[in-house]
Every structure is written in structure tokens, then in C-alpha cells.
Structure 1
């Protein structure tokens, strides 16, 4: 028979339990209480310590008990024997608390414990009323300032407005032998007896209302007054405000500022006024957390106020609870459990690591029976998360409600299982709001029992669901995984019964076993049968070998292995990438090993070879041993692909299903269920892949045609380092992880452009002209400064790697004066250098800087001009599209080049001022040629020598070196010939203009252009109006350049933009227009001449169209009608102006 301790009490109320010795006698020292006890006691024993305290902790952690014990001690309500009993509990357990308990008894001041709990109204009223109540309870005669005035004010109000009440009051005075005037005088003199009498009879006169003083004046002054009065009596106050958080939670917005100020003032008063005031606030959270719904200003203010208190945090202490539960349960040792089995289970699952073997047996297994050990472990976790005052560790022991321990003991002496706690913490699951954070498991449980009500009727299935739900809510999977064995122990069920129930729950989509994490969890399934859905999609799957390889690689937990030792020495990252390959591809020689590495940008490749048939294993090993590739490592698993093939296919189908939006929209839970199914499938595949990384006899390793021993991952990475040291011993060390890599981000790339620009244009300056501490300086420092790389002393480089690379580049250049840009990249990326791509443009230009001006680049046989850092980087990205030519001009060219510079240097573009000599010469000649009039540039109507000179200069844009060589070949014997041709082309245009003028005079048969204009003026007005030759000549009157004006007007094209064809058309048009004038036979009958002011205007007489007649009628009507109020002279002048402006 299990008995309970009837004197056991689970909850504490400071107001009612102060000084009761049973609490002290039953108190067990708890580690989580130590800090708060020391802090509180030191406040009483040493005036320099803080006297404003705050204890924060979850429900049921003994916060109120601490306040009750300390309050009992400092109020001297604990008898000596009980106090000694308490003190002895800390002797040899906690010396500091033991010492402080000794010290606190020496304090001569007796502290009255002022207890408050929860929301007792406005903070200042609650504090003052509690103080008054405590003073009255202890029969201490102190009248707070304001009480007497309030009483007089109330009585005067009765006398003035409530005559009936006033008469009743006077009757009570008479019945108590009191004279009104003498009583009033006593009140004014603050006589405590009379004030207390009035407060006692006040409810009788006011229908039960209590007398209330509104201490609206100075809250702190009132408390100071009390403290001063108590100081004279050698008394003090210990204010303990329990459940202070409840007051804050119900605080109205309009009271926030007042409460904050009062709380701050009270804390400051406590620590800085007299020593006879101590304050303790007890909450479940920090103050600022109660104000999440308020604006940030309030939260921050409460956070500052909180710092004025010394805070202590207490946690749920399971060991203390075990001892209390042991004290509460006074039954005999359990007879219906197998002690050894439970002991073994607790060894397997160390739920209570702080207890030794004897404590486990005597307390956990026997002492607290029938509470199951897992229940004992789970209960504190749930209490911290979901407990309230009525649901704590301790109230559980005496609870008669469903799920409570007493209720359980009335029904059975069997184990109280952890699943039984569900009913205790969630007695009405259907009424619980599960929308909050951290309640996802409870939400799923609620849906499961709503969808399948019979689950609640099946005791075992219900227990499993509740157990999983509670475990997930408590977040305990990280400590003990809820696998089948643990469930069997926790629920005290036989394994076969448990497995059968679990299988049924799986079929109902209520639970699933998480293969990845290794525990059971709740599942909210969809309406689809997932396995059938997957099978239905399999026939349509494109299940190629490439798809299977991709699926396997997506399941790799590690895709890259680093050559760590090599990387440390060279300050870079070289690695091998993992790739799967089927045996058939190796046997059929379908693999491009080098191409794979290039496309994947890996330094080496680790091939996981997939065995498709165990019969081919020996043949496969032999074939791999024939492969000659020193950057490929092969790992061959002895496990056939057939064991995982179905899972690989399933994974591909699931991935396709997860992309089917239309299907997923049919059931909101389908995506989640497919995702969970995918996790299971991936787990199976990863189990297969793990064979390759087990480094045991299940795999054979082959490298460089030999079988090797790879014992572990460290061994593999050592092999990779050895390979890299052998392959790339002369890799330049560049300590810049952001730049010395396969690919770089845009910021680093732009920094590379800038460094390259400095190498091209400022290579002779200190630090290449790079200043500051930006990414470009880091590139400069790590490539040039750290490696003593001097561009002005390239033949004496200190770096062995750079010297060797320059030698190889120069040898290649001397032997290949033209070629492809890709060939430079291959020299630098292949062994023994193996440089990363972003480094190549910078290091190549730098190492060949003394030869760079003699290198020309072409794309599609077109010269690439204006090369800068950004252009060069882009050229290297498409290196196969660019060709180079290395030009080496001998000394015999020097005089010729100097002569060209004397003629054309003034035309050079500033942008090429620091470019190679060839580029400067080409730029000068091209700029000069383009400065000439277009007719001069393109006309062929000149000498052969002039045409050849122009053509060679034009070709210098495409191939400047070839142009200079040809110019030299033509004019080396007569350098001045260049000068003559240049001058002849510069005077070509004025001569050409003069020839046109002569041609015009010749056609018209006059001596000068002025005569030609006079000829035009003599023509009839009709001809002047219609003939373009005559009209154009007339328009030159007054022009600064009459011949150019005539040409532009007559041909419609500026003379500077003429071509040879334009010239031909001009001559033909000139002849035709002159002929037209010559063939004219006087005045046309249809012509009308108007002569005025020595002018003659010709108009053709035509029949008006309908539209023209309408215009005429409108104008005529407007002039006649509007002209009635206008002088005739103005109307005539108006018609004259129209004639002048419209008629040519």
C-alpha cells in the first residue's frame, strides 16, 4: 500500500505562511537557490550590499519559499530550534550561506515582512496599503501623513451633502461616549486610536466600503516617514512582492509612466536611504519582457529600471523535486517491477547523471514509485515550459485532478507513465489554442485525434502519441532520442506489442520514424498514398545514367576533399571533387578525365566507381589500373548498385512530384509528406554512399595504376597534398584568399582591372602607383611586395617561381612570335605552376612588361586597339579567339620612326602617350588622316603615290606593325618622301575647290565666279525661280565663301563630304542645268511677272483646285470683312507683306 505524507504542502503563500516552521523543517538546500539566498542575506548583514532584489524563474522553482524563509528569519518569527535546524542543513554544504545565517541573527533590527501578491491595484496604493496593513497587524502606532486630513474631509462632506450619513455618524459617536468636537481635535492631533476607530466604523456607514486614502501626493515621502518612525523603534520593512509580473501584465497604458517612476524611486530609496528597508520582486520573466506589446521606449525604460535591482535566476531543480517526492511518497518498495531491468535501462539512458547508483535505486526507482523514471525526468521540463501556479512540480504531487498523482494513486499502484502527464498539463486539449510558437507538435496531435477519434480509445496508441507529443514539446530529442527501445522503456510495453502499434500508427499516417535523426515523430499526412503515387510516376521517368549520377551526387554529404598540407604551404586551396561513375563507362572508356576536371574547375577528381554487377569486379579493377591520369583517384565499392537503385529512382520521382505545383495544390500536406519521404530515401542512399567513406575492406583504392591503402580521411587528404606537391611545386604563393581562387566576385575582379591598369601605365612608379588599403593594394602586396617582384628588374627576380615562369614564357615567346593567347594560359596553368585564372593576366603582363610593347593582339584578323585592364581580362576569358604577334624592330628602323614622329607626333591621342612606339605612330598617322576633308581621305583622283600612302595609313588601324614595315620598305631610301606626300594631301582640298570653280566658269563661259553670278541675275524671273543653277548662283550674293556656298546649295552636299561619285554627278548636273537655261525661249505664256521696287517676281498661271479655291475664298472673306474697320492703307500693306513672304 502506497501512503502519502499528509503534512506535505505543495504551494507557498508569503502572506499566510510566514514563520511557519514546517516550511523550514522541510526545506532542502538547492543549488539554484544559493545565489538568491546569499544576495538577500548579505543585504541584511552588510549595508554596502544591494537591498533591492529581483528573483526570476519559472513556476514551481521555490521563489516564494525563499522569500518566506528569509522573511521569517529577519522578522524574528522563527524560533531558535527551527533556525538551528535550517542552519545545520547548510553546514558543510554551503559555507557562505551558513556564515550569512550566523551574521543575520546578529542584526539588531527586526524587519516587518510586507507581503503582496499579484495585482493589488495601482503600485503606489498597493505598497502603501500593504505597509499600513502590516503596521496594524503588528500593532505599531504610525499614522501616515494624509490619513487625518482625509478623515476630516470625509466627515465635512457628509455634513454638507449627506446629512443622513452624518447623523448616523454622530449617533455612533454618542454610542461610544465621544464628543464630536473633542474627537475632531484628536483626529487633527493624529491620535492612532481615534483614526483606527473611524476606519473600523467607516464600512458600517458606507454600505460596506473600505476607507481609502489616495496617496496622490509624494509616494516616497510617505515611505520615508514610515521608515523614520520605524527606525526609532529599531524596526524595518522587508517588502516581498510575489507574482509581480501579474501586476505588470494588467497594467493600464496610462499607468505605465507612474509605475515606472515609482518603481525606480522605490529601488533608489531602498539602496540609498536608511538601512531598514529591503525590497524583493518575484517574477517569471525579466521586466522588459512583460512589455513586448508596448512600444520600444517602454521596454527600454523597464530594462534600465531592472538594472537598479540585483537579479537572481532560479531554475527547476529535478534533484530537489526527487527528494521532496521521496519524502511525500511513504510507500513500501514496489513489488511489481523488475528492479534489475530498470537499473539496466537507467544505465543505458542516463536520465539522472548527477545521481550515483545508490541514489538511483533508493530514490528514483524505489523512493518515488509509482512515478516512472522517465516521468520524473520529463516532469521538470514540462513544468518549466507549461507549468503555472496550479501546474508545478509540487502541485503535481497533491493533485486530485485528472493526471495528478493523488488521482492516479486512488485508481492504481501501477507506474505513473510519462504519457499520463499529458492529461495533467493539457486536461482539455480541444479547448487549447495551439497557434503559438513552439506548439506545432500539440497542433498535429490535436488534428490527429480530431481526424481519427478512435486513436484516443486505444490506450497503447494514445500513450504513444502523447509520449511523442510531450517529448517534442520539451525539445528532449537532443538529449535522448525517442527510438523504439526508449519508447518501450518509457511506456513499460513489451516490444512486440509496441512495434505492432507503431506499425498501425504508421499506416494511419499518425507517426513516422525519422531515419536521419533516429527517432519517432508525429506526422500530419496527406490524403494521397505516397508509395502508390510514386509507383504511378515511375514509367514516365527519364532514368538515364546521367540522371542517376546526378541524384547520387546530390546526396553526397562531402563533395570536396582538400589538400590541406599543400594548401597551408602555398596559401591557396587545391581540392579534389567527388564524382560518381558507373563501371560500364570505365569498361567502355567513355570518360574524358581531363575534360571533366576542366569543366568542373577541380584540381583533381575522386571517382566513386559504382559496381553494377559483382561478376565484373575483377575486370573493373584491372581496367582502372590501365588508366594513366595522375590527377584521378578511384574508389571502388564492393556493394552492387542494385541495393540502392530503387531508392535512386524514387528520389528522382519525388523531386519531380515536388515540382508539380498543380498536384501539390490538391492537398496542403502533400508537400510536407513528400519532403519527409524524400528525407527517408536520401538517408538510404547516403547509407550506400557511406561505404565509400568507411575506409575499410568494403572498398579498394587505386591511384596512378596502383592499389593504395587509404585508412581514413586524413590519409586521403595527405595523398592529395603529395599529388599537388608533385604536380605543382612551383606555384607562386599569393596570400590572398579572396583573389587567389578559381573565381572571384565583382569587387575583386574590378580591383584586378585596376592593378593591371597600373602595370600597363605606371610600372615604373613606386608601388606601381597604387595607394590606400583597398582590395587592389592587397593584390599588389600579395603578388608583388611579398614576392619581391620588381618590374624594373625582371632579369633578376628573387622568387624562384617567378624567375622560372618568366624564363619559360620568354622561351615560348622567342620560339613562337605569333600564336594564340590560350597558349600563354596553358604555360601558366599547367604543371609545374598551376596558377589560378584571376592571377594570370596580372602575372603574365608583369613578367613580360619589358616585351609587352612589342606584342600586338588580333581578333578575326582585326587589330585590338585601346587595351586596358578590363579589356585584357575579357580577352583571357575568350583566349582562344585572340591571336598575338611579337614584333622585334631592328635598329635600322630608328631613324625612320624618328622622322615619322616629327611629322605626326602632334596628332597623337593623349590616351596612347604611354603606349608602345608602334601604337603612338599609328595613332598619330590615323588621327592626321582623319583630320583631312573626307574628299581628300577617300578620293582616288590623285597620284598613285598619294593613294598608296593613304591606304597604308588606313591599314595601320588593323595591323600597325605591318604598315610600318611596308612604309619603311617603300621610303627608307627617301625619308623626305613621307613629308612630300603629307604636304600634298594637306593642300589637296583647296586645289580641288579651285578646280571646281574653274569648271563652273568653263561651263557658263565666263572668266570669273563673279561673272557667273551676274550671268544668273540677267536671266528671266521665271528661270531664276525654277533653274537650280541660276537660283544657286543668286544665293551666293553676300556669302563669305561664295564658291563653297554655291556647291552646297547646288549639290545639296557640303564640299568636305564629297566623294568621287559626288564630283561626277555635280559636273553632269551643272551641264544639264546650263543647257536648260540656254534652251529657254523667253517668257512663258502662263507666267505672270510682278515688278516692284526694282524686283521682278514670276508666278505661273494655273487653275485652282477645290482645296485652293476654298483657301482663296477664306482669305478673301477675312480681308474684306475684317478690313471694314481697318484703314485701307493697312489692308494694302498686309497684302504686300504676303506677296513678299510667299512668292519667290
Structure 2
């Protein structure tokens, strides 16, 4: 006989091929075909139907069961039972109404069937009521309730919850009065979806509506309103992410509904499976029936099906579960109950074509060699549940189990099947009923000697570990930490988060948001800082929410934890004064994040308070994975509820936005916020420059860009009248880029009728003129007043200009160059007469130390300036500009040598003038008050006095210029007088004394005298330089830096040096001397031994005078020569006295 596949033996029942859907299947007569009515189902129906009695109050129910446990099919059966047409039930169920005690005279209930979704529950229920009224009642029947429902549906009102309850009660009453129905049956499948929506959006759907519905049902009396809700899990689970107070409110709602726990015993699940597989029993593989009976008997004896399992029934049923081995069903059920959707996943496993599922396995030959055992189920788990199990590995150690099995050699087939079997049992954390024991291994894989040998070999290789009779085999070597138990303990310790706001702030992305479109349009990179705050903070002082430099705006997001806080925050923002640079956002109630934070905090608690983790590497790794997973889950939730960056096209932000106290719509999708911020920047900064150069149009410049800007300053100050500021045409230094993109492109530096110049542009393509003119207006507001530069910078930073810091100094230099004649600059409170590039560097670094002042002159003062202009020799165009007068005067005085700044050898008027100019702080005060007072003019200078003032000023300035030359002239007189050459020509004297000094220099060892003699020898150096050097030699200070006391010291010092020189000179007179022929040495000695000697050098004129004098003296001499010589010697002694 040809071989058959397992598929040929299976006859899958159609009813198990899809899940039930209430609204769709209610009118399908085949929907309940093949429905298996179990003992538990009968009991649950009987309990529910008691509520249909007129005196009953048991009319609000919740049916709770795992995914796929058959709740929807059960609800479908109930709806059909209570409908007027229960005779349409499948044949095997038609006797059920009588069996359940339902009378034949009943009119049934109007079925209002709703399947849950994430929307407003009251609206969905209203829509279902409308559909049912139209579908089940003749449209010709005049019903007030139908009209009222349609009207409410067309125009929902704010009190919709209360209105829907009232309409349900009205429908029940009116239908009973018209003998149409006994009442209304409301069945809400997937109620959890509505609860999830309510938890996430409490402001749109209050869960109190469900409480109202339950109470209305319980009190409906004769006008029966019967309500059933189907849930996958308990009420509290849907509220676990809410606050503790909200959870208590949900518990009150749950108490209004009596509960039926919908769970099928394992024996009944086996019956369902048997019915679903519908195996052709006459085509079983030879030997299967006896093997199935035997193995099922052993399985029941081992406790795999529980302590109270019906052994005989299960043994009888075992062959019909083909090709599933009896050990597989208990593991299937437990696995899907724990990790899947219970029976739904169970039947999906049986009937779908997923890899390694039953249908995939059924392609094999129908022989005893191909029986679906636990190793095959492991392959199914790894293929289809691996990712999910990895995320919840703390419940199953899946990560370690999977790693061990994946790394095991495939050719060792039996050992691998053993590891897979133990891995499945370890995954479901099997206890006494599914303990991984030798007996269970023998049953699952076949009892053979090779099995025992393989187990022993795995144990020896430290791949399989026996943990004792109570715990069985495992794929790890030690007593593992029970992480589920530890997490439960952590849940008891941490039941509520008290500081949610602080925890969230540390995780939220506070990076600034850039207005990209505005940047592309204008070249200005603007950003808004992000600030997260609580409702209390914004209520305390909203004025603190202002952007700080360098931010152009601020986004304030209020983290409202509850709905009440959200409403309070929105009310507070609506009452704030307008703040154009601040955008407010208010989150939805963040209590929905409570569960995510709790999960993370609990896992952190497990890590901190479980010391056993240090000895359990696998558990410790699992805790780390769970913390990472909880972190990611919280991040994803934050992105959903607080995030506004990187939203996908289908995602929406749940932040409510406000600008200037008004709500802003359509900012809940990705990109819309940035577009809005760009539009906001366009309106905030309409006068901003449009400079597309990232080197300079930014707040913080790179060192290279700053250096290039500094070089540009120097070019603007010194080469403004040169084409392209003198920049080379064949090279491209960094400053050229700045010049081209700012000065040339804007037209600030351009060739005009009078040549190249720096001026405010006419066409203004880069919109710089607005900022330039605003600075001038600031200076014009208060004439002659100083404006701090940092205030000007701050003004240009703010709306409507928003100029970047890198660009502002260039604009200030452009303003200075154009208004140089009337713009005064002060540094540290003192007027700066010479503006150079390094001053601009200091201005950039410390603008708070600089001030600007606009000096404009009118009236009589212009006449005075015109006369003063003659003094400083200005061009006619500049003669009425105050700073054109002040700067030359201040520069001239500032450039004077120190001697001229300090000497008192000047007229009193000149000394006073010098004092005022050096101390000048205000140009106008200097010119119109200080200078006139110094020169002897009181009050305002009249027109007639202007020329006199100018003349006196010129004299005083001239006297200051001559101060040092006059000092040098006095030095020459002092030197000549010391040498006894008063009145001699200084240049001729220097030449003659140089010859004498050459004779003296030989043998001079005294350092001072030698230096002095060398200086006398130097007759080639120019006179001013020679005098500077001589002054420095004598006083240790150059004459240009002298004070008056230094000049006195020079006079005394030169006299002493000259005397030393003369004494040495007399010693070198005589034979071998290089003295000139007309040199004379006179030496006198007293009887005391005191001597006086001196060498005299006479020039040609002096020789002639000496001859004339000799003749006159000779005529007066007595005849006694001895007497004459004695008289002359006494006269010479007196004349040679050093003190004379």
C-alpha cells in the first residue's frame, strides 16, 4: 500500500479554523456548528441565565478568561439562546433552551453586541444600539427610542455617558411595552480594549460609565437590561499603570459586576482537541492505538494531567489526539496559557501552517516513526516564540536554554532531543506535575538503554544537571534564583511612584529644537531650548519661563500627572501674559506611565536587594536584560506621550500646544513643530540679516573664523577706500570669504561716485541696513549720552533683529567707519582717540567695558569748530565735525614724549590745557568747556572770541611740541658752560672736544668717566640722539622721559664729570701729548703743597682776544716783574678755584 502522510488522516473541523466575532457571527447559522458543550460551559450558562428572571438583580457580569479560551463563542451561544429565534440553533444545541429553563413563551432580548476597540465606549455602545434597533425591529414601527438614539448619534452632547444609559433603559422599557422584547442584552466582547482607551484617555471616556451601566442593569427590574463584558484579564490589570487613587476607583467599578472565570480543565481541552483534529480512527498507523493508550496511562499516573484527571476517559481519548504524544498536551496547554493566547494559540498551533507546528509536521509519513513529541514542540517554540521569550526571559531562562541547545552539535541527535525536552520543561518552569525526571524523559522519548547512557554523558559534560528529586533536571548547574518570586516581592515593596515628575525629567530628551526652514531661508541658525516642569512650577511663577542667551526661544512642556493637573496647567497658561518667544506644551495625564516606571523601579529593586544574584550569573544577566527591556519600554512610552521628535507619519504627539496663551492646532505630527517654529522665527525676527555664511553668521566663532574677522577689522579701518579692501584677486584667505559674503554682497563696501567706501547700503539685499540704522537711532535718542556696547549687542540679539554674535562686531566697525567723525568710543570710561584693530579685539571680548557716543554739533559751536579746525589743519568737509577736531588734539597730546606731559617748564595756561586734554572723557566737554577755561575764557565762547581762542590754543599746542626741543637746548648750554665754552657753537665744540677726549681716554679706568669721555669722542651722531644718550648716561633716564628733577640732576652730574675730565686731561699734557699747539697748561703750587692745574684750549677767535687782553694787562703791569708775576699767580689761583 502506498505511504500516506499524516494530513490524510486528519479531518480538521471547520469551526476551529477561525475565532468567533460577535457582530459578524450572530446571524450566521453555521457559526455554532460543531460547538462542544462542556460541563463547565453548562454550569456557566445556568449561572448567567438566572439573571433573566424578573426579580433578579444579577444582571451585570464580567467573564474573565485567557486569550482564546472560548469566551467569544460562549457569548455567541448566550446571545443566540436569549434571542427570539433560538430555534435557529444547530441541531445538537436546540434542546439547550429547555434544558436551561427558558420558557417557550418568552420574547427574547434585543441583542446589542459590541466588540471593543480603542475608542469611546459610550459612543460605540450607542452605535451598536442604533444598529440593533434598525436591524431587529421593523422600520415602520414608530419607536421614540429609535428616533432619540439616532438624534443623539447625529449630534453627541457633552453628557453622552449619562445619555446612553438613559437610552438603554428607555429602549428596554419601550420594547417591553410594545411586546417586542423582554429587555435588552448588552454583550461587550474585548471589553479590555475599551478599558485601555479609558486608562489612556480618561478625559474622553471616564470608566465611571461602566459603573453606571452595571448599576443600571442590576436595578432594571421588569424592564430588563442585561450586561455582560468579556475580559482577558482582571480589571486591576488594566489599571496597573494608573495612580493608586485611580486604581481604587477602578476596583469599585469592578465590584459592580459579578465574575465568571472562564477556564477549561485539561481533560476538557483534550476533548476539544480531539474534536478539532477529527482523526480517521480506522486509518491510524499500526500500533498507535495501543501505544497511545499505554503512554497516556503512564502520563496520567505521573500526574501530567493533574491530580483529579479522569484516567479512563483520557486513556480512551488518547488515540484521537494523533499525531500528538500524550506528554505533549499538558506542556502545550501550560505553555500557551503562560506565554501565548491559551486555546487560541493552541488551536493555531494545531491548525496553522507555522514552521514546526502540527500542520507542518503532518507532511511526514503516517508511521510510528513520526509522532509529535516534546523535541518537535521545542523547535516550534524556538521558531515562533523565541523573540517574545527573550523579552520575558526572567520567566523561563529562555536565553540560556536557547544558547545551550543552539551550540550543541546536531549530529548527536539523541542527546540533542534530550536537551530540547528538558529545555521545554525548564521553559514552562514545570513543578510537580511536569517535573523533568527520568520517568518523564523515558515516557517522552522512549525508554531505552541508549537514553540512560546519553543522559549520563550529558551530565558528565556539564550540559545537564540533576537538582534533586524535587526539582529534576535543568540546563544550569545550581539552584537558580526565582526571579518571578523576587519580582513579586519587589512589587509588594514598591506599589506606587511618588516622584514621577523627577524620574521622567531625568529621561526626557532636552536637546534644543532647531528651526530648520528658517535657517535655510535666512542663514540664521536659531534654536529653542526645552524645559520640562510640573504643574506646580508653572503655577508658582510663570515669568521665569523666558529664553536665555544664546537661545532664540523656549519650549516649556508641563508634565501633568493627572487629568486634573492637565486642566489646571491649561487654565494657568491661558491666563498668562503674552510671551512671544515661548511655546507652551501640556501633556496628557501621564499616570498611564505609572506601570512602566513601576516595572523599571521594581527590577532595579530586584537587582539591589537580591544578594543571591552574585552567585547566579544567568539570573543576574536576566535581571540586566529585564532592566534594559523596562528602560526601553519606558523610553517608547515617553516617546508616545511626551515625545514630539521623530514621529512617524501615523504617530501623533499627545501634547497640547499653546502660544501667547492661545491653543495651537496641528502640531501633533513629525515635522509640523519644526515648521511652526520656523514660521514663528520668521515673525519674531522680520528685521534679521540674511547672511548665508556659516563661518561668521553664528554665535560662537571658531578660532580660524575669529582670526579672519580680526584681519577684516584691520582692512576695514585702514583700507576702506581700496577696491575689495586691498584683498588679493588671486588668493582666497579666510577673511576674503567674510568680505565677499558680508561687506561686498550687502553693498556696505562698494564703489560709489567718490570712490570705494564703507557706507550703509542703499539696496540692502542682505537686510543689514535695518540693524545698522537701529544702532544709530539708539545713539540719537539721547544726544551726547554714552551707550554701552553690550547693551547695543543685546538689542541686536533680541527680536525683531536677532543678529548673531559673530556678525555684530562687523556691523559695529562698519558703523564706526562711516560715522568716524561723530562717533566717540570710550574704554573703561576714558575717551579713545586712536581706534586700532587691537581695540576691536578687546571690544569683541569685553564689550561691557566699551561705550559709544554720537557727537553732533549745531549753532554757535559750529563756528568755534570752524576756527579750531584751522589749528589742526582739517579739510573743509570735516571742519564742523567735533571728533575731527578732538581726535588730532588728543592724539597730538597723547603722542607727546613723557617729558612734555610732565614738565612744569611751561606757561600756566599750557599746563592746564595739557591736564584737561589728557584727562578728557567727553569730546564735547573738552572742546566747549575745558579748553576755553584752560586758556582763560569763561562761559560759552562768543563769535568774537572764537578766533582768539583758536590762536591761544595754537600757541599752547606749539609750546607743548617745543617742550622737549627746549629741554635739549638747555642741555647744550649746560654742557658748554661746564666746559667754560658758554656761547660757543655746539657742533664746532663737539668736534674740538672730541680731539681732546681722544688724548684723555688713554688710561681712564673709571667707568663713568670713561663712558663720558667716549661720548665726547663721538662727534658723528646727530645732536638729538647724542643728547638723549648723554642724558641717559648722566641721569640713567633718557631726556624724553625726564621729569624736572632729572634736568637738575643732569646739570650737577655734567659739572662733576667735566671736572674729572679736566683733571685727567692736565695729567696728559706735555711731551707726547696729542693736544693742539694752541693748548696751554697752567699749574700753581702753594707753600702748603696744594696744587691747581688746568689745560686751556683756545680757538682762533679766542687766540686773538687773548692777545688783545695780554696787551691791556701788560700796560698795567708794574716794572717789578717779581711783583707782577706774584699778582698774576694769585689772580690765576682764584680763577682756577673749582668752587668759583
TM-score interval, smaller chain: 0.3 to 0.5
TM-score by length of 1: 0.41
TM-score by length of 2: 0.41
Which protein is bigger by CA-based radius of gyration?
Answer: 2
